[in-house]
Amino acid sequence: MESYLVYLAYAVAAIGSAAVYAALPRDGVAPRKSFLVPMLGLTIGGVVVLLDKFTGDAAKTWYSVLLVVLSLGGAVRVVTHPKPVYSALYFVMVVLSTAALMVVCGAEFLGAALVVVYAGAILVTYVFVIMLAQQSHLGTEAQFSMMVDYDRSSREPFAAVAAGFVLVATVAGVIAGRGASAANPVPPPVEGNTMALGRVLLTDFAISVELAGVLLMVAMIGAIAIARRRFPKSEETAAYQPGEIGRHVKPF
C-alpha cells in the first residue's frame, strides 16, 4: 500500500548519487554549483520526508534533522574534498553527528563507543598518516596544480557512484519496504540501555564477544610481528656500515 515510499527512497538515492557524481573532483573542472545545490537540497528534503514516515517522535525534532544534514553533508565532503586532511576531518564530523543521532535515539553507549573508537583512535591515526604524507603548504588553493593527481581528480567516479547508489538504494529500499514497524521501537529496558546492552553482550552473545577479542589480539600480534625491527645476533656488536640497515634483515 505504501510502495510509493520505496520508489521515493530509490529516487532520493539516485538524486543523491547524481549530486555526488557532480561534486567529485575532476582535473581543473570545478563542480557546477547551479546544478549541485538544488540536487543536494532535493536529497536532503527527500531524506527528511523518509525520516518523517519511518521514525519515532525522537527523530522528528529540529536537531535530529540538523544532525542528519550535517552527517550527510560531511559524508559528501569526505569523498569530494581535494585535500586529504580535510576529508579526514569531515569524517570526524560524520562520526560525531552520527554519535549524536544515536544519543537522540537512546543508544548513549553506542554513541560514546563510536566517538572513542572512531574519532578518538582510528581517525587520529588516519590524520597522522595523511599529515606525514603531505605537507600543509601544498594544499593551498593557489597551488592546486602542484597537488598530486590522485588528489586533484577522482579515479573511476562513475563506477564508484554507481556502486554507492546500489548499496544505499538497497538499504533504504529495504527499510522503506518494511513499513511502519520501525516507527514502534521496543520500549527501553528498566535498568538503562547501557546495562541492558552489557548484559546481552556477555550472556546471549558471549562467544561472539570473545571471538572478536581473540581476533583483535591476533591482529595486534600480527602487526607487532610485521613492524618489529630485527637484527641478527651476529650483527649486534659489529660496526655499522652506512646504508646497511634493512639489507640483512630477514622477516622471519
Partner 1 sequence: MGGIQVGNLCHNVGSAARTMMDTMDAIRNILADQFWFSIVLGLVVFGGIQGAVAYAILLERKISAWTQDRYGPNRVGPYGILQPIADGLKFFLKEDIIPANVDKALFIFAPWMIFVVALVGFAVIPWGGSFKWGWMEATAKPMVVQVASVDIGLLYIVAVSSLSVYGVVLGGWASNNKYSFYGAIRAAAQMLSYEVPMGMCLMAAILMTGSLRLEEMVDWQARHGWAVMYHPIAALVLFITALAEANRMPFDLAESEQELIGGYHTEYSALKLALFFLAEYSHMITSSAMMICIFFGGYLVPGWEWLNTTPTFGAALVRVAVFAFKIFLFICLYMLIRWTIPRFRFDQLMRLAWKGLVPMTMTLVAAQGLVLYMGWSQWTTTAVNIGVFLFGGFVSVAGGKAVTGRQLSLRRAEAMG
> Which residues are at the interface with partner 1 (CB under 8 A)?
85, 89, 92, 99, 108-109, 112-113, 115-116, 119-121, 124-125, 127-128, 131-132, 135-137, 139-140, 192-194, 228-229, 231, 235-236, 239-240, 242, 245
- 162 close to 170: Cβ distance less than 8 angstroms: no
Minimum CB distance to partner 1, residue 244 (Å): 9
> Which residue's CB is nearer to partner 1, number 58 or number 131?
131
**Would you mind telling me the total number of residues written for the chain in this entry?**
252
β-bridge partners, 26: 29
Q: Which residues of 141-161 are buried (b: 16+ CB within 10 A; e: fewer)?
A: eeebeebeeebeebeebeebb
Q: Which residues fall within 8 angstroms of residue 198, CB to CB, at 6 or more apart? A: none
Report the nearest approach of partner 1 to the CB of residue 189 (Å).
11
**Smaller CB distance to partner 1: residue 34 or 135?**
135
Enter the C-alpha cell of residue 19.
Answer: 549530486
Residue 194 Cβ vs partner 1, minimum distance, rounded to whole Å: 5
Residue among 125, 108, 136 nearest 193 (CA): 108
Contacts of residue 23, Cβ cutoff 8 Å, sequence gap at least 6: 31, 36, 76, 80
Nearest-approach distance from CB 85 to partner 1, in angstroms: 7
Closest CB to partner 1 among residues 124, 166:
124
* Nearest to partner 1 of 207, 227 (CB atom): 227
Residue 225 Cβ vs partner 1, minimum distance, rounded to whole Å? 14
Closer CB to partner 1, 143 or 208, in the complex: 143
